[in-house]
Amino acid sequence: MTGTSDKLFAEIGSAEEAKGNLLSKTKGDKFIWGIVILLAMISLLVVYSATGSLAYKMYKGNTEVYLFKQLSFIILGLLVIYFLHRVNYTVYSRVAMLLFAISIPLLAYTLFFGTKINDGSRWIRLPVINMTIQTSDLAKLALFMYLSRQLSRKQEVIKDFKKGFLPLLAPIALTCMLIMPANLSNALLTGAISLLLLFIGRVSVKHILLVVGLGLIPIAIIISMASYKHNHPSKEPKRSGSGVFVRLETWISRVESFMYAKDTEVPYQVQQAKMAIANGGVVFGLGPGNSRQRNYLPQAYNDFIYSIIIEEYGLLGGAFIIFIYLLFLFRCIRLFRRCPYAFGAFLALALSFTLVIQAVANMAVNVNIVPVTGVTLPLVSMGGSSFLFTCAAIGIILSVARNLENTGSEKELQEVPVVPAAVPVAS
């Protein structure tokens, strides 16, 4: 009997020791870790609520299918975060060029041969696991890693147009041009975040304004075409065949619906999202699992999940989600200011900007501030390749934070300049 109890205590002790070793190896900003866990828990609750009726219809009464699917993505995502945060972030500087070189052919392949959903070719299907991935997510991650590397290496010539600006502009333009035909909103967000990163990286403002002016030209053309279409409905062109610009009509229709909401029929998903927000009220909403519009709102578990959050938890719940993302951005900016190496500083800031701006864009669509796009709410929308790439970005950010813990104390690093001009970076 004594031997059995000793064996039991030994097993308990070994399990606690293994748990202690895992926790000791988990480093980085504790606030960011907490935000990730909190958003994952919120995701489980809201995705389960938003997909309950759909799962009941699709799987003959089994309402937990999507819940377990989301749980599996969350577990896989946390593993991705853990393993990437254990890697020294200087390694990502070495793989940035390779990853970017791989992402460009993948974007081109997706554009012409990818899986088409809703007239947009954004996905490729992996043959073995039969899973679709959105290659633009990989391309954005690769682009921001590459830009962070180049900005850290070109600080001495960053004001020069040929030596500093053009080598940074070329990859941005190439990536956005390949994303744009299938996903205009994603391309615009990628370009805007890239220019913001260049501004923080001390690129000349006049060079950035030149690019902004050129980028406004196609946007102005789309707005003009939407206005012309609204004022001349009898002369509306017929939908033509296929090709990389087949979604031009979709862009024009969405801009028209947004510009002339009083005169044209509001898109169905926007109507349902507004109804969900109205149901939620100001304070507590309808309560967890009591959403009404989940049965009518398309993509309630994905693009319009923020509307479901407000419906079930009220405007107070919606404001809490905004606060969580702003806290995440604040912690990442703090990393940027503390990081003694330019590459790590730019990397943490670029990846945090892309996640927070994507979240803001998703929420803006849900409350009808901007036209409808296909942008998800990071770490909250139902899992997929986008969820895993979001976890990869967070893992890299935590890698920077972990390196700061190993480099020195916070007090020692407070005097480090925001953007070191001549700090070496791993090649």
Q: Which of 79, 135, 81, 84 is nearest to 107 (CA)?
A: 135
Q: Which two tokens stand for residue 341?
A: 């190496």
Q: Which two tokens stand for residue 18?
A: 């293994």
Q: Would you state the pLDDT for residue 253?
A: 74
Name every residue whose Cβ is closer than 8 Å to that of residue 255 and which is 6 or more positions away in sequence. 222, 223, 226, 371
Q: Would you state the pLDDT for residue 120?
A: 55
DSSP secondary structure string for all residues of 359-401: HHHHHHHHTTSS-------TTTSPPSHHHHHHHHHHHHHHHHH
Q: Would you state the pLDDT for residue 372?
A: 79
Whether the predicted model's global pTM rises above the 0.85 cut: no
**CA dihedral (40, 45, 47, 48) positive or negative:** positive
Q: Would you state the pLDDT for residue 424?
A: 43
Tokens 């693009």 found at:
303
How far is residue 60's CA from residue 207's CA, in Å, rounded to a whole number?
A: 58
- Would you say 91 and 85 are in contact if contact means Cβ atoms under 8 Å apart? no
Q: Would you state the pLDDT for residue 223?
A: 81
DSSP secondary structure string for all residues of 221-275: HHHHHHHHHHH-GGGPPPP---STTTTHHHHHHHHHHHHTTTTSPPPHHHHHHHH
The residue extents of the domains of the chain are 38-203+266-413
- Would you say 89 and 399 are in contact if contact means Cβ atoms under 8 Å apart? yes
Q: Would you state the pLDDT for residue 198?
A: 93
Distances (CA, A) of 120 to 112, 125, 245, 303, 409: 10, 14, 10, 16, 49
| Residue 374: Cβ within 10 Å count | 19
Q: Would you state the pLDDT for residue 16?
A: 52
Q: Would you state the pLDDT for residue 226?
A: 77
Q: Which of 150, 333, 344, 182 is nearest to 250 (CA)?
A: 182
Mean pLDDT of successive 10-residue segments in the chain (427 residues)? 53 51 68 94 92 79 84 94 92 91 90 66 68 85 94 90 90 91 84 92 92 86 79 58 56 72 68 90 86 87 92 93 96 88 90 94 89 86 87 94 68 39 42
Name every residue whose Cβ is closer than 8 Å to that of residue 186 and which is 6 or more positions away in sequence. 136, 140, 179, 373, 374, 375
Distances (CA, A) of 335 to 29, 36, 158, 195, 326: 9, 17, 23, 20, 14
Q: Which two tokens stand for residue 72?
A: 């599996």
Distances (CA, A) of 336 to 200, 212, 402, 417: 11, 25, 13, 10
- Would you say 423 and 340 are in contact if contact means Cβ atoms under 8 Å apart? yes
